[in-house]
Structure 1
C-alpha cells in the first residue's frame, strides 16, 4: 500500500465552498478510481486555507498513471482545482508501521 499526501492551499474565503467541493469530488470520483481505498481530508485549525488530503493506493502507478492519466483526473480537477491558491504539494509514502 502507498499513502499519498497532498498539501493543499486554497484561495482565502473559499473554505465553505471547498469543503463541499472536495467532499463531492471524493464521493463522485474516487469511488470509480482503480486502486484507491481509504481517504481522509484534514483541515488546518491554525491556517484555515490549508488542507491535507490522504489517500491509500494499491500501487504508486495506480495514482501516478492509472488515475492521473485518466479522464477521471480531469473530472476531479474540474471540481476542486478552481479553489487552489497554487499547485498542491503531493508526495507518496510507503507504510512502515500501522496500528
Structure 2
C-alpha cells in the first residue's frame, strides 16, 4: 500500500468552507475511485490554514497514472482548488512499521 501525503495551505478565513469541501471531495470522488483504500484529513492547530491529507492507494500508479489521468482528478480539483493559497505539496511513502496497541 502507498501513502499519498498532501500538505495544503488555504486562504485565511476559509477553514469552515474548506472543511466541508475537502471531506465532500474525498468521500464522493477519491474514496470510491478504484485503487483508493481510504483517507484521513487533519487541520493545523498552530497554523489554521494548513491541512494534511493522507490518501491510501493500492499502488503508486493508482494515484499517479489512473487517478491523475482521469476526469475524477479534474472534479476533485474543481472542489478544493479554489481554496489553495499555493500549490499543494504531494509526496508518496511506503509502509515500514507501526506501534503495537
Q: Which of the five TM-score ranges fits, normalised by the shorter chain?
A: over 0.9
Q: Give TM-score, length-normalised by structure 2.
A: 0.94
Q: Distance in 1 between matches of 2:88 and 2:31?
A: 21
Whether the 8 Å contact between 2:25 and 2:79 is mirrored in structure 1 is yes
Q: Distance in 2 between matches of 1:58 and 1:98?
A: 18
SS of corresponding position for 2:6: strand
Alignment of 1:36-55 (within 5 A): 36-55=36-55
Partner of 1:89: 89
Structure 2: stretches of 5+ with no match in the other structure: none
Aligned length: 99
Name segments (4+ residues, structure 1) moved above 4 Å: none
SS of corresponding position for 2:31: helix
Structure 1: stretches of 5+ with no match in the other structure: none
Offset from partner CA, 1:5-50 (integer Å, 9 cap, x none)? 0000000110000001001101110233111112100111000000
Give how far 1:98 is off.
3.1
Offset from partner CA, 1:44-92 (integer Å, 9 cap, x none)? 1000000000011010000001000100000000000000001100000
Partner of 2:6: 6
SS of corresponding position for 1:51: strand
Q: Give TM-score, length-normalised by structure 1.
A: 0.96
